[in-house]
Structure formats: structure tokens, C-alpha cells
């Protein structure tokens, strides 16, 4: 039997449908355009960059959110998927770091600025990150308070990416002239450089996680308060 959802929950599900659909469409189309533009090259070698991995991850997460939201609308039953909350948090944090890095590359002292004003690059570096952040902030928040260590789950993709890329660099499967980021060059960079950048990225990711989860909690709590009838308080 189909259940009846609270109006605020129904609106939240519709927003999930909207944002997840936009992210999925823009993510898949951007990946397709990027692959087509490098048809004469080895496109899979481009996955050494975090941007491409982040787009794939965020697109897949948006597809899951889309399917879950459709199921909730059809059955009228809210699904308590806490793990999906952490995947969305990881996507939002990762996409924000990608956007910040690309923004910093336009600083005057950076010699080579990337061309982001193409369909695929602009979506991957600007539009998808913004949509991911807004989508997460409007997402339903877990009822129980988050333990500080739980916020470390925001770095799932960062940890997986770093582990794989560093392993490929050490094994020599990524040539030195193709290493995506200089601080990952284990052959020339001192260990303290890698530790410094690693600590900075993880600290920044954790800070973003705290900010995003707190904003999400505040937005949802105010939203629920405003949608609660006076006579039900």
C-alpha cells in the first residue's frame, strides 16, 4: 500500500530528483564530449587527473540518488540510506576541492592557466561542483548527530585516488612527464612535501565536511520548523 509522505519530505525528494538529474545529464555529457575530443589519444590515461575521477564518482552518486528518489516518490516511503548521505558528502567535498584548485590556477603567479571555457571542462570544474554542493545542502540530514570521525568519510574518493595514482607512479606505469600533480612525484619530491600537501588537502576536506554538514543540518532544521503547523507544536 502506497504511503503518504510529509509535504516537506516530498519537496525534498523532488529537489533531489531535479539536482541529481541535472548532475547526471551534465556529468555524462561532459565525459562523452571529453572522450570524443580525445578520440585520437588514450582517453583512459586522462583518469590520472582528479577532475575526471570526481566527475565519474559524482555522476554515479547522482544516478543512485535519482533511482532512490524515484522509488521514494513511487512507494511513498522514505528510505533511511545513511551511507548514501556520506557518498553525497564525499562528492560535494571532492568537487569543491576540484573547483578551488582550478580557481587557484588562475592566480597571477601560476604560469599555465587551464582552458575551462569549453563545454566539458566548464561543467566538470564549475557547474557540477556547484550543483553537488547545493544538492547536498538541501539533502535530508541523519537524525542522530554526526561523530567527528564520521566526517572523515568525506575523503573516501581522495584516499582511493591518491592510493591508486601513487602506486602507478611508483610502479612506473605513469611516466614522470605525465604525473598529474607535481607533489605526487615520489621520484623527485622530498617526502615532507607529500606529507605537507597531503595534510593540507585532508585538513581542508575535513573543514569542508564540517561546514557542509552543519549548513545542511541548519537548513533542514529551519525548513522543517517552518513547515510544521503551529497547532502541532
Q: How far apart are CA 185 and CA 179, in angstroms?
A: 7
**CA 76 to chain CA mean position, Å:** 28
Match 548532475 to its residue by C-alpha cell. Answer: 23
Kindly state whether residue 169 falls inside one of the protein's structural domains: no
Which of the residues in the chain have pLDDT under 50? 1, 228-233
Kindly state whether residue 2 falls inside one of the protein's structural domains: no
pLDDT per position as a tens digit, 197-211: 889 999 999 999 999
What's the domain range around 223?
7-143+213-232
Kindly state whether residue 177 falls inside one of the protein's structural domains: no
- Kindly list the distances between the CA atom of residue 41 and the CA atoms of 44, 46, 179, in Å, as whole numbers in the listed order: 9, 9, 17
Tell me the pTM.
0.88
The number of domains in the chain is 1
128-137 vs 7-37: helix crossing angle, rounded to 10: 160
Q: How many CB atoms lie within 10 A of CB 163?
A: 10
Kindly state whether residue 155 falls inside one of the protein's structural domains: no
pLDDT per position as a tens digit, 83-113: 899 999 999 999 999 998 888 776 555 556 6
Which residues make Cβ contacts (< 8 Å) with residue 59, sequence separation at least 6? Answer: 23, 24, 27, 28, 31
Amino acid at each position: 500500500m502506497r504511503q503518504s509522505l510529509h509535504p516537506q519530505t516530498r519537496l525534498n525528494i523532488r529537489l533531489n530528483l531535479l539536482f541529481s538529474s541535472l548532475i547526471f545529464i551534465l556529468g555524462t555529457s561532459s565525459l562523452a564530449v571529453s572522450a570524443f575530443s580525445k578520440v585520437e589519444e588514450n582517453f583512459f590515461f586522462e583518469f590520472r587527473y582528479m577532475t575526471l575521477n570526481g566527475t565519474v564518482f559524482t555522476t554515479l552518486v547522482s544516478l543512485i540518488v535519482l533511482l532512490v528518489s524515484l522509488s521514494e516518490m513511487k512507494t511513498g516511503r522514505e528510505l533511511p540510506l545513511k551511507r548514501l548521505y556520506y557518498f553525497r558528502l564525499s562528492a560535494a567535498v571532492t568537487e569543491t576541492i576540484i573547483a578551488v584548485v582550478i580557481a587557484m590556477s588562475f592566480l597571477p603567479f601560476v604560469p599555465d592557466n587551464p582552458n575551462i571555457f569549453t563545454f566539458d571542462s566548464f561543467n566538470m570544474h564549475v557547474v557540477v561542483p556547484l550543483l553537488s554542493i547545493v544538492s547536498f545542502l538541501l539533502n535530508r540530514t541523519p537524525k542522530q548527530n554526526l561523530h567527528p570521525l564520521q566526517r572523515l568519510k568525506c575523503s573516501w574518493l581522495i584516499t582511493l585516488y591518491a592510493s591508486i595514482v601513487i602506486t602507478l607512479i611508483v610502479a612506473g606505469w605513469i611516466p614522470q612527464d605525465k604525473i598529474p600533480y607535481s607533489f605526487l612525484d615520489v621520484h623527485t619530491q622530498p617526502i615532507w612535501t607529500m606529507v605537507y600537501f597531503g595534510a593540507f588537502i585532508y585538513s581542508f576536506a575535513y573543514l569542508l565536511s564540517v561546514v557542509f554538514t552543519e549548513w545542511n543540518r541548519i537548513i533542514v532544521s529551519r525548513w522543517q520548523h517552518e513547515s510544521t503547523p503551529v497547532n502541532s507544536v
